[in-house]
Structure 1
Amino acid sequence: MDINSEVVAVLDEVLSLKGRAGRFTPDTPLLGALPELDSMAVVALITTLEERFGFTVDDDEIDGTVFATLASLVDFVQGKLAI
């Protein structure tokens, strides 16, 4: 499974980006840069990632750094899968 591609697909789906996420690079800023990524979208994104990858996220694991860039979000998911 290509985790990066899966995370991009989840972002595109949850944020209704209509394929725009496919152009994201690891350095693409997310939180604060995408108007679609508001607090409600963060909750939906976390829920979808949990369902897609089969892990759970505790409230204390989430802060703004997780959603800073595509790379930081992918790193977070990889870290959850390594546990």
Structure 2
Amino acid sequence: MYLQEIKTILADTLSLPPGAADALTADSALMGSIPELDSMAVVQLIATLEEQFGFAIDDDEIDASTFATVGSLAKFVEFKLTA
């Protein structure tokens, strides 16, 4: 799974305080739980994922469940890379 990479991308993209990413687990909630993850940050995060992993994300591929937890986002990345 791509959990560590996702944690690093979240920390960098959201400018989280030092050590904050280390505290994240697969079950850590994202939307509504991390104040830095607003609608503009989601757009930036999607662009970063596309650049980092070399895939394109269509609008109809993502919904709130994709960004529910760190683990759900990592599973989405894994799905995109194996599709």
1:35-75 CA distance string (max 9 Å, x none): 00000000000000000000000000111000000110000
- Unmatched segments (≥5 aa) in structure 1: none
- Give me the TM-score of the superposition, normalised by structure 1: 0.94
Q: What is the CA–CA distance in structure 2 between the aligned matches of 1:5 and 1:60, rounded to whole Å?
A: 26
Instruction: Give the fraction of aligned pairs with identical amino acids, expressed as a percent.
Output: 52
| Aligned pairs, number | 82
Aligned residue for 1:66, secondary structure, equals helix
- Give me the TM-score of the superposition, normalised by structure 2: 0.94
Q: What is the CA–CA distance in structure 2 between the aligned matches of 1:71 and 1:17, rounded to whole Å?
A: 18
Q: In angstroms, what is the RMSD of aligned CA positions?
A: 1.0
Higher relative contact order (CA 8 A, sep 6+): 2
Q: Stretches of 4+ moved more than 6 A in 1?
A: none
2:5 maps to 1:6? yes
Q: What is the CA–CA distance in structure 2 between the aligned matches of 1:5 and 1:26, rounded to whole Å?
A: 10
- Unmatched segments (≥5 aa) in structure 2: none
